[in-house]
Structure 1
Amino acid sequence: MRHRTLRQLEVFEAIARLGSFTRAAEELFLTQPTVSMQIKKLSDAVGLPLFEQVGKKIYLTDAGHELHRTCRGIFEHLAHFEMVTADMKGLKTGKLRLAVVTTAKYFAPRLLGMFCQQYPGVEVSLKVSNRERVLERLAANQDDLYILGQPPEEADAVAEAFLENTLVVIAPAHHALAKKKKIPLARIAEEPFLLREPGSGTRMATERVFATQGLKLKVRMELGSNEAIKQAVIGGLGISVLSSHTLALDAPARQFVVLDVQGFPIRRHWYFAYPAGKQLSIVASTFVDYLRQASKYIGVVSAQEHGRPGRLVKKAE
């Protein structure tokens, strides 16, 4: 193994991470025969197969899992060394790998854009997925930082609140309750409800509020994205609860309204998290400090303005 090249380990790590020889070849700008040859040489050096194919899927063998853990440690140490030396030179360079839940996509790109303006030498990788998948990535330590709508209690992780996340009830603009004040929660529970998929942080928070008063939602439809929910609300299929951040940028003009409901808005927070015991890179630590000042960068007041009860939501100018 001592004479294996760093390139062979890079090829192996890419296949293990992506689950595909083809996708690894595309990411590394190599031909698939070259990738296969590098893995054969590495397997010969180890003396054991590193992958096994079942049907059309590729899986790591026991030896492959051990080598994958070793590779991640090697690459993390090399990345840390590069960032330490860059810091010694007075530069902030390196890579920031960020995974966020789907609702966070409404503000995460703005945060990253302004961060990269301050540190143009930083290369950013942003993964957007549902909460379940983000928690899987956190457990596997696949990224530097994770942004979620509630602390990751399912994982051994460090989490810190950095930005307010306000949840509001929305309905079609022509809804019978659109101009009512202080609508009882029990009245809202009578309406057909549109919810995100099970495991969504917004859904869990919504169900928790109604459950505290012994109320059960009349779920008409489960949808996998905030955009689908907004379109379904506009179409008159029901009402829903969404983060005010999802209303701040691209809401259709005057087509739905925020209802004035007792117990709402629900004031929650966005959290950044990382595995307990993980040593953050210099770039990740710099981004954490930046997140602690996030509210002054992304116009939270504007987002909350869109979430005022009784306000028709119109497209931002």
Structure 2
Amino acid sequence: MRHSTFRQLEVFEAIARLNSFTRAAEELFLTQPTVSMQIKKLTDDIGLPLFEQIGKKIYLTDAGKELYETCQSIFEHFSRFEMIVSDMKGLKSGKLRLAVVTTAKYFTPRLLGMFCQNYPGIDVALKVTNRERVLERLTNNQDDLYILGQVPEGIDAVAEVFLDNPLVVLAAADHPLVNHKNISIDRICDEPFIMREPGSGTRMATERFFSEHNKKLKVRIELGSNEAIKQALVGHLGIAVLSSHTLALDAPMGQLAVLDVEGFPIERHWYFAYPSGKQLSIVAQTFLDYLRQAHHSLEDLSCRHAITGHYPLVINGSGIKSSG
């Protein structure tokens, strides 16, 4: 191992993380033959195979798994050292790796924009995926921080609220219930519902709400994205419960309305999380401090002012406004 280079370890880590020689070469801006040569040299130096190929997939051997954990520790310590040195120089630089659930994409870029204005030396890698995948990444400690719509269960993690996430009932702007006030839960349950896929945090919160009222929803269709659900609403396929954040930027112009339903909005929150015992990098800790101190700016992102006490709401190209 003494003859192994830092570059060889970088190549190995990228392959192990991406499960692909090709994708690792693309990420590192190397040719695939160069990547293969670096791994051959590393394998020869260690004296044990690091990968095994079964069909078209590659897998880490036991030695590979041990080396991957070692690489993660080395890179994390080295990255922390670089950030400590920058901090000593009065600078804030480094890389922040975030993984967020799909609904969080409606406010996270704006949040990061404000943060990066304060710390222009920090680069951000943002992974947007479904809740199941975010929890998997959290379990495997693949990122610095994670943003979810509810506390991760069954995982040893630290979680803290940083933003409201109210859920509202949406329908097409010309739906018969749009002008009704305080619609009963019984009445809303007569409508066909468009739901996110099983495992979605929004779906779990919706089902929990109606279950607590001993009601069962008429689910007409399940869709895997908020955008698809909004298009289905416009197509008069039913009504849906979504986060108010999904309305902030890209709602179809003048085609959606928030219904005034008893018990809504459902009060939920956004959480940041990270594995218990994880030593946060200086950049990650700086971002957390920013979230905690920027409470008032963050509240503007929740659209809470737009959905409380003003029904029905019609979505137009410039945001949310009352139709009354």
Paired residue for 2:194?
Answer: 194
Post-superposition Cα deviations, 1:58-77, rounded to whole Å, max 9, x if no partner, equal 11111111110110000000
Distance 2:292 2:65 in 1: 36
Report deviation, 1:300.
2.3
Report deviation, 1:126.
0.2
Paired residue for 1:153?
Answer: 153
Paired residue for 2:248?
Answer: 248
Post-superposition Cα deviations, 1:123-160, rounded to whole Å, max 9, x if no partner, equal 11000000000000000000000000001113110000
Number of aligned residues: 317
Distance 2:248 2:99 in 1: 22
Alignment of 1:1-317 (within 5 A): 1-298=1-298, 300=300, 303-307=303-307, 308-316=310-318
Contact 1:160 1:272 in 2 (8 A): yes
Contact 1:162 1:294 in 2 (8 A): no
Report deviation, 1:298.
4.6
Report deviation, 1:312.
1.2
Structure-2 change in CA distance of 1:4 and 1:269 (3 Å) = same
Distance 2:35 2:11 in 1: 7
Matching residue's letter, 1:195: M
TM-score, normalised relative to structure 1: 0.97
TM-score, normalised relative to structure 2: 0.95
Secondary structure of 2:43's aligned partner: helix
Contact 1:83 1:94 in 2 (8 A): yes
Distance 1:51 1:306 in 2: 54
Report deviation, 1:217.
1.1
Report deviation, 1:99.
0.4
Post-superposition Cα deviations, 1:205-238, rounded to whole Å, max 9, x if no partner, equal 0000000111111111111111111010011011
Distance 2:59 2:264 in 1: 47
Secondary structure of 1:111's aligned partner: helix
Contact 2:244 2:302 in 1 (8 A): no
Structure-2 change in CA distance of 1:244 and 1:294 (3 Å) = farther
Identical amino acids, percent of aligned pairs: 72
Post-superposition Cα deviations, 1:7-60, rounded to whole Å, max 9, x if no partner, equal 000000000111110010011011100100111111112211111111111111
Distance 1:49 1:286 in 2: 40
Contact 1:164 1:267 in 2 (8 A): yes
Report deviation, 1:286.
0.4
Distance 1:153 1:32 in 2: 40
CA RMSD of aligned residues (A): 1.3
